[in-house]
A and B are shown apart, each in its own frame.
Chain A
Amino acid sequence: MAKVLEGPGMGLMKKWGIHVPNYVVVTSADELAKLGQANDWMKTSKLVAKAHEALGSRFKLGLVKVGLDLNGAVAATKEMIGRQVGSITVSQVIVSEMIAHKEEYYCAVKSTREGTEILVANCGGIEVESNWDRVKRLCLEVGQTPSPDALEKLSKDAGFAGPLTKKMADFAGKMFTCFDSEDAQYLEVNPVVTRESDGELVALDAVTLLDGDAKFRHPDWNFAFAAEFGRAYSKQELEVMAVDSKIKGSVKFIEIPGGDTAMLPAGGGASVYYSDAVVARGGKLANYAEYSGDPPDWAVEVLTEKICSLPGIKNIIVGGAIANFTDVKKTFGGIINGFRKAKSDGKLKDVKIWVRRGGPREKEGLDAMRALKDEGFDINVFDRYTPLTDIVDKALQGK
């Protein structure tokens, strides 16, 4: 899943005929002031300014300002740009027109195993969260598109009446088309509102999750995906992502500040069991990492260097199940190079390394790891006869 920020998300909805408020995304107050001269709506409407970043609870942080005129929006933009929130520096602000409305509604499309579900409610905003039973669903099988009748029935079931019934049905239909055509995994508009000026339904806020794997068939996805956990990717994480995009197989790395147990396990499945084992033992994870699919040794070396550079770590867990085709000797070669480099840079002092692994050329790989002892590493090496996560238990025994 790949999260898309509001700007590009609203762009995609607009592309498929869904009404969205006028909006601009700017990187400076000057740019906004210039745009204000060129666009009438910015002079005539009340405006909302929001930090355009992958940040949660922006309202609380003062990164959403409403009811502004153009000068107010320029001032708000000036104030927001460059603000530091955790690891994120605000670099973009989205300014949109406020839509005068009374009622708020809800519409979402989501992927299910059987196909797709269209969700509609005749309440919106925070009200829908506490009245989830008022959300009505239309379930569609894989490959099926909703008929106008089915959409109208959905709209009626959700409590819409009069001309609004058809309008909501149309809106939901367009949401489905956007979802289906853009390889979306989740689309949510909350609230949908009736614009007082012309009575049209408008999407005021959008959550857009796209399928990153489908990027190859969407040349117009010219936007970057946003990090999904309320902060920007760090430089180290971005460097590993850049390596990941270049290689056969994969390397993954996410930092978790404050932890002291560093993770360097193999496999998308096993890596999570290792993380679970650390947490179950009362340890604190310093990162999540994973390499799999027989990646080249240099890629694993890059990953190892990042992990060795994590501050305040006491243990490194080099775990892994019995590989199917990942060459243990080769990938361990990358890890060993990374360890050596870190050591010669003065890192890994008082850090214990714990290894468990199996798979093609496991003996050679494990022997090479064992030999690190002679170079002064504090390393403990186990083979397939030691159960998968026992090294975590051994590492955290003192806890």
Chain B
Amino acid sequence: MSILANKDTRVVIQGGQAGVNAARRMAEFCYLIKRPLNVEAFVYPPDAGKTNEIPYGSGLLAIPVYKSIAEATKNHPTINTSLVYIGADRAMKGGMEALDDSHIKVVSMITEGVPEKDAKILGAHARKLGKVFNGPSSIGIISAGSCRLGVIGGAFDNLVLSKLYREGSFGVITKSGGLSNEIIWICSQFADGITTAIGIGGDAYPGTDYVSYLEMFENDPQTKAVVIVGEMGGDLEERAAEWYGAKKRRVKLIGVVSGFCQESLPKGMKFGHAGAKEGMKGEGSARSKSDALKKAGAIVPPTFGALGPAIKETYQELLKSGQVKEVVEPASLPKLPKTVEEAMKADEVIVAPLIRTTISDDRGDEPCYDGYPASELINKGYEVPHVIGLLWDKRLISKQDAEIIKRIMMLSADHGPCVSGAYGTILAACAGIGLSQSVAAGLIMIGPRFGGAVTDAGRFFKYAVDNKMSVDEFLTYMKKNHGPVPGIGHRVKSLRNPDKRVKELVGYVKSLNIKTPCLDFALQVEQVTAAKKDNLILNVDGTMAAVLVDIGFPVDSLNGFFILSRTIGLIGHWVDQKRQDSRLIRLFDYLVNYAAPKRREVPPLK
């Protein structure tokens, strides 16, 4: 047996995320005691019509959200309890709505900071209707082995440690949410555990007080003793004492009260909960409460630390008198399924990875490139080309190689608005397309005829050098197997109108006195081809390709240098058009040779 919350309790939760979190905790408890989830519905107008996903065991339950209590109870007529998780400024309205619904008998308000006047009105309204209004600021209610309302009881492990999966003999009533768990724990360690534990909230005038619940515990034969945890302020503990002393009670009462420190502190210093305030004339002090409880015959340990032994003593007496029997613990309890992450941490499961990476790791506090933390690279003077080296070829390149890459990037960052890439980006920008799509439109142009010959040029020059071909052998091989040599030839540049970028790059690399077999070979090829036709010169793609192969970059990465460099220019063009607020452009018809058939009649459809 239990009070207030039992196996027939069906719940609606009023509120958003905090309510969902509570439902998850409640589902853990339901899973532990092998019962279906006791939350039937949520009421939260912003999410009405949706469902909230609540994990139960290893599955997921979809719990509907309604816009009003009436709608929830109409669809789920077994609902008899509401938990209120609505903000303090709207809590009163929500609480009233629940109290006024004929299905609902118990309303527990978790909301903190509810105006005192509102709490009093809610409490009085509930009493008038013969219902229970628990809270505000309540941590919840839990009946061991049958029902959990709210987050009271804490994490799953604590539910098990505190033996909340089965009934004990002690009732618990506390103002403090944090201490409720502590007392439940103490009852499970020093005695046989609890029947029901209730957080009444630390406000000055909770809707239901110790006496309301003491009365219920007195009528619950399973509950043999009740522990109340009080604090200075108000008169709730005095009223509990008065109730206990009024006549012979079946239940034993054990009580502790906090606030003795007030006696040696500056007067009026406010501690702890809203209700914890001593009256003007000493009433409500810890001492007066403690004395009142003692006088009424309650067991009052001198300090909180003495509470455990006091509970133990009471339990031993109950055992001796035969009022309670030793509890036999169940042989096994359900275990909360672990998430994949938890199971992996505990070495209990192997997961086949979906992808594999060998270059980058983001799991620490900063990314590591091929194992090197980004900040350390920065602080030790490394630059963008080194990051390219790490991510594209998994090696830390030399300062000299980095300088070559930097120069390649600077030389190929842009080539004016007329080339396919830039024109593609500008066309998209003028059509009002966003940055990433417009840049992508430009990048799409990179291919065999524009900027995309670097990889192939590198591949064939390298092939020739690796196979020690002569220029003639190479040109014959190319003509027979592949066609024109990639990296040779330019649309507008020629021997008489040389490409300054090529001259610059070749001049620099040559000045370094390093071995450049590919570049040397490419220059020899140029001498032969340019002699045949004056625009068959080594172009910038070919030069880059040869140099990059010479400093060790893999052939497949070579187009990347052009894509990366030119992206700088493409972004520039997009921003430039955006800055000018450019208008939509379209071709003029005089720029089109309309070579389509003349207008003609459409024949009848056959």
Contacts and interface: CB of A to CB of B under 8 A. Distances in A.
Interface of A: 1, 111, 113, 115, 141-143, 180, 183, 185, 211, 213-214, 216-217, 228-231, 254, 256, 266-273, 275-280, 285, 288, 290, 292-293, 320-326, 358-361, 384, 387-390, 393
Contact of B112 (A185, A271, A293, A393): A293
Contacts of A390: 305
Contacts of B305: 277, 387-390, 393
A116 to B, nearest CB: 9
A393 B303 CA distance: 11
A275 B176 contact: no
Nearest to A290: B272
Contacts of A183: 115-117
* Interface residue tally on B, bucketed by range: 35 or more
A337 to B, nearest CB: 14
B179 A321 contact: yes
Given A272-B258, A323-B181, A387-B305, A267 B176 contact: yes
B29 to A, nearest CB: 12
Contacts of A292: 177-178
Nearest to A292: B178
Contacts of B161: 384
Contact of B260 (A141, A254, A276): A276
B308 A272 contact: no
A258 to B, nearest CB: 11
Contact of B202 (A115, A268, A387): A268
Contact of A280 (B209, B260, B272, B273): B260
Given A142-B124, A358-B158, A269 B175 contact: yes
A218 to B, nearest CB: 10
Contacts of A361: 155
A142 B256 CA distance: 30
A66 B41 CA distance: 65
Contacts of A185: 116, 204
Given A211-B115, A276-B260, A321-B178, A269 B271 contact: no
B114 A213 contact: yes
Interface in B78-130: 88-89, 112-118, 120-121, 123-124
Contacts of B176: 267-270, 321
A228 B114 contact: no
Given A213-B88, A267-B176, A288 B271 contact: yes
Given A183-B115, A293-B112, A321 B181 contact: yes
Given A217-B115, A254-B271, A273-B258, 13 more contacts: A142-B121, A230-B268, A268-B178, A270-B176, A272-B231, A280-B260, A280-B302, A321-B181, A359-B154, A360-B155, A361-B155, A384-B161, A388-B182
Contacts of A277: 303-305
B304 A388 contact: yes
A278 B261 contact: yes
B270 A229 contact: yes
Interface in B168-196: 174-182, 185-186
B485 interface: no
B139 A324 contact: yes
Contacts of B117: 180, 183, 211, 214
Contact of A389 (B154, B186, B303): B303
A115 B181 CA distance: 32
Interface in B197-243: 202, 204-205, 209, 229, 231-232, 234-235
6 contacts: A142-B124, A183-B117, A270-B176, A272-B231, A321-B176, A321-B182
Interface in B257-272: 258-261, 263-272
Nearest to B232: A272
A323 to B, nearest CB: 6
A324 B152 contact: yes
B437 interface: no
A114 B123 CA distance: 9
A269 B181 CA distance: 12
Given A270-B176, A276-B260, A276-B303, A229 B158 contact: no
Contact of B270 (A180, A228, A230, A256): A228
Contact of B265 (A231, A271, A285, A290): A285
Main secondary structure of the interface of A (DSSP, over half): mixed
Interface centre among B259, B266, B276 (most CB of A within 10 A): B266
A322 B121 contact: no
Nearest to B122: A142
B108 to A, nearest CB: 14
Contact of A360 (B154, B178, B180, B270): B154
Contacts of A180: 117
Interface centre among A141, A290, A359, A390 (most CB of B within 10 A): A359
A322 B153 CA distance: 9
Interface centre among A211, A254, A320 (most CB of B within 10 A): A211
Contact of B178 (A111, A323, A387, A393): A323
B265 A358 contact: no
A280 B266 contact: no
B266 A266 contact: no
B271 A229 contact: no
Nearest to B88: A213
B259 A1 contact: no
B530 interface: no
A288 B264 CA distance: 13
Nearest to A248: B18
B427 interface: no
B25 interface: yes
B277 interface: yes
A217 B93 CA distance: 14
A367 to B, nearest CB: 14
B151 interface: yes
Interface centre among A183, A228, A229, A387 (most CB of B within 10 A): A387
B54 interface: no
Contacts of A211: 115-117
Contacts of B274: 1, 213
A276 B174 CA distance: 17
Contacts of A325: 21, 25, 151, 154
B286 interface: yes
Interface centre among B258, B260, B269, B272 (most CB of A within 10 A): B272
A278 B304 CA distance: 12
Contacts of B271: 254, 271-272, 275, 288
Contacts of B21: 325
B153 A324 contact: yes
B150 to A, nearest CB: 8
B154 A272 contact: no
B89 A324 contact: no
Interface string B408-439: 00000000000000000000000000000000
A276 B266 contact: no
Given A325-B154, A390-B305, A384 B185 contact: yes
A279 B261 contact: yes
Contacts of A273: 179, 256, 258, 304
A390 to B, nearest CB: 6
Contacts of B151: 324-325
B83 to A, nearest CB: 14
A110 to B, nearest CB: 9
Contact of B116 (A213, A216, A217, A290): A213
Given A213-B114, A229-B267, A143 B261 contact: no
Given A141-B124, A266-B178, A230 B266 contact: yes
A169 B179 CA distance: 46
B268 A322 contact: no
Contacts of A388: 182, 304-305
Given A229-B267, A285-B261, A325-B25, A216 B154 contact: no
B259 A272 contact: yes
Given A275-B271, A324-B139, A325-B151, A269 B120 contact: no
Contacts of A285: 261, 265
B177 A324 contact: yes
B270 A1 contact: yes
